[in-house]
Chains A and B, each alone.
Chain A
Amino acid sequence: MAGTIRAQYPISIRPILVPCAGRVGSELVMRTIGRGADGVLIVG
């Protein structure tokens, strides 16, 4: 979405493609935070 509207976003953001926001469970979020992410934004 940020790409289609040509919005600038910091290079420290790491996008992970999912088929649907419903696929994102607590395990994925916890693993991401456990690996050092400051936060997880689920965008649908």
Chain B
Amino acid sequence: MLEANRHPNITIMSLAEIKEITGYIGNFEVKVQKNPRYVYEETCTGCGQCTDVCPIYIPNYFDENFSARKCIDIAFAQAVPAIYDLDKEWCVECYACVDSCDVHCIDLSQEPEIVELEVGTIIIATGWDLYQGDEYGYGKYENVVTQIQLERILSPNGPTLGHLKRPSDGKRPKNILFINCVGSRNEEHPWCSNVCCLLSVKNSKLIKSEYPDANIVVSYIDMRCAGKMYEEYYKRSREAGIMYINGKVGKLIEDPKTKNLVASMESIGTGGIVEFEADLVVLSSASLPSAGTDEIAQVLKLEKSPSGFLKEFHPRLDPIETKSPGIYICGSCQGQKAIDATVNHARGAAQAASIPMNKGEFVIELIRADPIDERCAKCYMCIETCPYSAISVNEAGQIEVDLISCRGCGMCAATCPSIAIELRYYRDYQFNAVIDSLFEA
């Protein structure tokens, strides 16, 4: 991230939203709204004096709200750009930070500003969000955490400085239960989240190697450890003494005194009901499309898969391009991916975008929709039908086809009641001639 920020050809705009995109491959015009951070990026030296004087403590989003941060603070230790930001929602406007800043870079009156950019290609990498449903008492029972929260607890710069402590009383949990497939592979979210099996293997193995007396149970439906060296990793974790039980936890009840959690699950391997009293329960929650995916899809006129992730041009043969030329997707915005697949996808997207950029020209086929104004009754049904939003009305009220956005599917030609829009080389009279000659004999 730091390297990208230092690169002369890369500009990172944090706290920004895409508001509008017009144009086509090679000539996109993008309007970006830069939301105020109330700190001038150019002059902030990152000295941290403002954080020292700020009297307001707020939940630390980066630590999954397990710790506190100041209202004006750096997002997290490795944040890029390493500039402080102020959370206006919690700020009491005491101006202590403004007074403390030696370089006068804090300005509480900053407004969102619109930046206009001209770009040739666009790569979308908006990632994913974690499912926050209330299965297994998540949000109600203190000692039920998600994998991401456990990651923060185990992190050396996390809220507990890497020491495994459970949220309710800060004691080290001895019996730990991992539950896989929470909120995924069901009716609502039918997809497999891809990474959680290995996340369970990794975190359970990490805890076991640090605390060999820990008693760890992983409850799973299927262990999906496909990929190079992953199955071996899983096998080694079994050998390390972590118990894997094939069966989904049916019931999880909290003991109100000890805050321990009693789980009952059916073990398919051995038969019968297994009961396990856990000090800490870790949920492998489903991964969902990130919160802004709907807006991105709307602004860029992209399609979404039934799961809500962005839709690629072809799920197997072209998972990088989208139906709009010049717009590429990479990483988990297309579907949940592990790190290796994300790196591959990102490199692929960068390569795919650099090809037309370096060539400087983009070749389109001639099979494109061809409007015929004399026949057009201006019903505009073609505009609604076009899946690529390539058809528009010009100032004179005539139908216009954007030849670059058009992909030559011919849906407009099939819809038009007065044959006023046709597909080049696949015109009605050409089809009629084919049909007539086929049935002549």
* B-binding residues in A (CB < 8 A): 14, 16, 18-20, 22-25, 27-28, 31-32, 35-37
CB-based nearest B residue for A35 = B439
* A-binding residues in B (CB < 8 A): 367, 387, 408-411, 413-415, 423, 426, 428, 431-432, 434-436, 438-439
* Contact between A27 and B426, CB atoms less than 8 A apart: no
Cβ of B431: which chain A residues have Cβ within 8 Å of it? 16, 28, 31
* Contact between B426 and A24, CB atoms less than 8 A apart: no
* Contact between A23 and B435, CB atoms less than 8 A apart: no
Q: A18-B426, A19-B423 are in contact. Are A28 and B435 (CB under 8 A)?
A: yes
* Contact between B428 and A23, CB atoms less than 8 A apart: no
Cβ of A14: which chain B residues have Cβ within 8 Å of it? 438-439
- Shortest A37–chain B CB gap in Å is 7
Q: Which of A19, A20, A27, A37 contacts B428 (CB 8 A)?
A: A27
Q: Which of A24, A31, A36, A37 contacts B414 (CB 8 A)?
A: A24
* Alpha-carbon gap, A27 to B410, bound state (A): 14
CB-based nearest A residue for B424 = A19
* Alpha-carbon gap, A20 to B386, bound state (A): 13
Can you spell out 14 A-B residue pairs with CB atoms less than 8 angstroms apart? Answer: A14-B438, A16-B434, A16-B438, A19-B409, A20-B409, A20-B411, A22-B411, A23-B409, A23-B426, A25-B414, A25-B415, A27-B428, A35-B435, A36-B439
* Alpha-carbon gap, A27 to B409, bound state (A): 17
Cβ of A37: which chain B residues have Cβ within 8 Å of it? 439
Cβ of A24: which chain B residues have Cβ within 8 Å of it? 414
Cβ of B408: which chain A residues have Cβ within 8 Å of it? 19-20
Q: A14-B438, A36-B439 are in contact. Are A23 and B432 (CB under 8 A)?
A: no
10 nearest A-B residue pairs (beta carbon): A23-B410, A25-B414, A22-B411, A20-B409, A35-B439, A14-B438, A22-B409, A36-B439, A32-B435, A23-B414
* Contact between A20 and B410, CB atoms less than 8 A apart: yes
CB-based nearest A residue for B414 = A25
Cβ of A23: which chain B residues have Cβ within 8 Å of it? 409-411, 413-414, 423, 426
Cβ of B423: which chain A residues have Cβ within 8 Å of it? 19, 23
Q: Which of A16, A25, A31, A36 contacts B413 (CB 8 A)?
A: A25
Cβ of B436: which chain A residues have Cβ within 8 Å of it? 35
* Alpha-carbon gap, A11 to B174, bound state (A): 73
* Alpha-carbon gap, A19 to B434, bound state (A): 15
CB-based nearest B residue for A31 = B435
Cβ of A27: which chain B residues have Cβ within 8 Å of it? 428
Cβ of B428: which chain A residues have Cβ within 8 Å of it? 27-28
CB-based nearest B residue for A26 = B414
Please give 16 more A-B residue pairs, beta carbons under 8 A apart, in addition to A19-B409, A20-B410, A32-B435: A14-B438, A16-B434, A18-B410, A18-B426, A19-B408, A19-B426, A20-B408, A22-B411, A25-B414, A25-B415, A28-B428, A28-B431, A31-B431, A32-B439, A35-B435, A36-B439
- Shortest A9–chain B CB gap in Å is 15
- Shortest B388–chain A CB gap in Å is 11
CB-based nearest A residue for B425 = A19
Cβ of B413: which chain A residues have Cβ within 8 Å of it? 23, 25
Cβ of B411: which chain A residues have Cβ within 8 Å of it? 20, 22-23
* Alpha-carbon gap, A14 to B438, bound state (A): 7
Cβ of A28: which chain B residues have Cβ within 8 Å of it? 414, 428, 431, 435
* Alpha-carbon gap, A35 to B423, bound state (A): 23
- Shortest B313–chain A CB gap in Å is 14
Cβ of B367: which chain A residues have Cβ within 8 Å of it? 19
* Alpha-carbon gap, A42 to B307, bound state (A): 27
Q: Which of A16, A22, A35 contacts B410 (CB 8 A)?
A: A22
* Alpha-carbon gap, A23 to B435, bound state (A): 15
CB-based nearest A residue for B387 = A22
Cβ of B438: which chain A residues have Cβ within 8 Å of it? 14, 16, 35
* Alpha-carbon gap, A42 to B415, bound state (A): 16
- Shortest A20–chain B CB gap in Å is 4
* Alpha-carbon gap, A32 to B387, bound state (A): 26
* Alpha-carbon gap, A31 to B429, bound state (A): 11
* Alpha-carbon gap, A31 to B434, bound state (A): 11
Cβ of B432: which chain A residues have Cβ within 8 Å of it? 31
Cβ of B434: which chain A residues have Cβ within 8 Å of it? 16
- Shortest A31–chain B CB gap in Å is 6
